[in-house]
A = this chain, B = another copy of it.
């Protein structure tokens, strides 16, 4: 009895999920329009179709035991429509909607005691000004729905720039103060249908140009904040009735932790769990959605770091030649087999080491070697 998991989207998350599925002897079938999606190049089965077409989603559901997600492009009402026809969908429509809508997530989680920065939904210049009067400039204005990796986010030092953002967005925006934080953390948490929940050791994330550039663990915050972060992730997973794996992104401030956002799927900040933890985020996602016992999440190594590989400014491919990275002892290359475009993630490097400094330096050295090679 081989379980089959259907996944909407065939990107790198589906690709790494397929790798985890191989270990467990699980079949993965991918719904996506492209024949050369990263997961398909790794050998997952293909069901050609669109992530936002109910008919295609139902064909996927009919071919598997449970439907899950590689991205946030499927409107939650379609996930719900699939579930109402008796198919298992994990995460469910409600949990998935909180990963798409920052305002919805905050509104739902505040009653559970989850700390967030002050925020409001604003549509007019006057509303922004009112918010600024209470919380001061500068502000962030964000599309509540769909923005990520720096897209759909505006930093507004004053009312003029805020007005420009409102004009550019053409819809209501979430406004919040620019948080002064010491560290950005992320906690991967998995929860199964029977309510078993496991959180991973928090990682620290480093942004570059508004995008995740580097992740490492252990995070450089105090033990109490590490415990609080894990416990917050478990609280949130239970509150939203998560089935699957999720990333809880947090700001660590002098005043404590604040929720930044949720990604209700496996996540870039959890890639290092493949090499560094007793069970990877991808395997625990499969276990969770198939109602299997969840795996241990402890670090099996003292420290680990991950650096994303992105297409160069002219679209050069840092993975065109692997040699320079493979020559760095201890660097682990993950090639997503994506066509390089400027700034597009095409792979990552992970390193484990006795210290965080060692892991970060190995991962950075390998990434730099690839970028130099491309530029040469």
Contact = CB atoms under 8 A, between A and B. Distances in A.
A25 interface: yes
Interface in A17-67: 18-19, 22-25, 27, 41-45
Nearest to A337: B25
A333 interface: yes
Copies of this chain, complex-wide, total 2
A360 to B, nearest CB: 15
A301 interface: yes
A296 interface: yes
A292 interface: yes
A188 B345 CA distance: 34
Contacts of A106: none
A335 B300 contact: no
A329 to B, nearest CB: 4
Nearest to A304: B300
Interface stretch (A76-84, A215-223, A262-270, A319-327): A319-327
Main SS of chain A's interface residues? loop
Given A23-B334, A337-B25, A329 B296 contact: yes
A49 B223 CA distance: 58
27 contacts: A1-B320, A1-B321, A15-B22, A18-B43, A22-B42, A22-B43, A23-B334, A24-B333, A24-B335, A25-B322, A25-B335, A25-B336, A25-B337, A25-B347, A42-B43, A43-B44, A275-B300, A278-B332, A278-B352, A292-B322, A292-B326, A293-B327, A295-B326, A296-B329, A296-B330, A300-B300, A300-B301
Interface of A: 1-2, 15, 18-19, 22-25, 27, 41-45, 275, 278-279, 287, 292-293, 295-296, 298, 300-301, 319-323, 326-327, 329-330, 332-337, 347, 352
Q: Which 4 A-B pairs have the closest CB atoms?
A: A43-B43, A25-B335, A293-B327, A296-B329
